[in-house]
Amino acid sequence: MTNILTFLNEIDAVLIDGRKKLKESMFEDLVNDPLRHIMKYLSEPRRNRNFAEQQLNDIQSEFKRIRRVIHIESLVSTLKQTLKEDEKECIDSMQHLTKKSGPFTDEDRQKFDDLVRKFEQIHHLPGLGITDSERINIVRALNISKGHWFICPNGHPYVITECGGASQESQCPDCGEQIGGQNHHLLESNRHFGLMDSSQHAAWSNEANLNLRHLPI
Q: What is the pLDDT along the chain (217 residues), one digit of tens a residue?
A: 557 888 889 999 999 999 988 889 899 999 999 999 988 888 877 766 666 777 888 889 999 999 999 988 887 776 655 567 777 888 899 999 999 888 899 999 999 988 887 887 666 555 466 656 677 788 888 888 888 999 898 888 899 988 878 888 999 888 889 999 998 899 989 988 887 887 878 887 654 444 434 434 3
- Reading across the β-sheet that carries 157-159, which strands appear in turn? 157-159, 149-151, 191-192
Is residue 35 within 8 A of residue 15, CB to CB? The reply is yes
**What pLDDT shows up at residue 49?**
66
**What pLDDT shows up at residue 211?**
45
- Reading across the β-sheet that carries 169-171, which strands appear in turn? 169-171, 178-182, 185-186
Domain boundaries, the chain: 2-122, 132-213
Q: Cβ-count burial of 24 within 10 angstroms (0-12 exposed, 13-18 middle, 19+ buried)?
A: exposed
**What pLDDT shows up at residue 48?**
64
Q: In the chain, where does DSSP find H-type helix?
A: 2-21, 24-27, 33-42, 53-78, 85-99, 106-122, 132-142, 194-197, 206-213
Distance CA 103, CA 57 (A): 10
Q: Where are the beta strands (DSSP E) in 126-165?
A: 149-151, 157-159
Is residue 199 within 8 A of residue 192, CB to CB? The reply is yes
Is residue 18 within 8 A of residue 31, CB to CB? The reply is yes
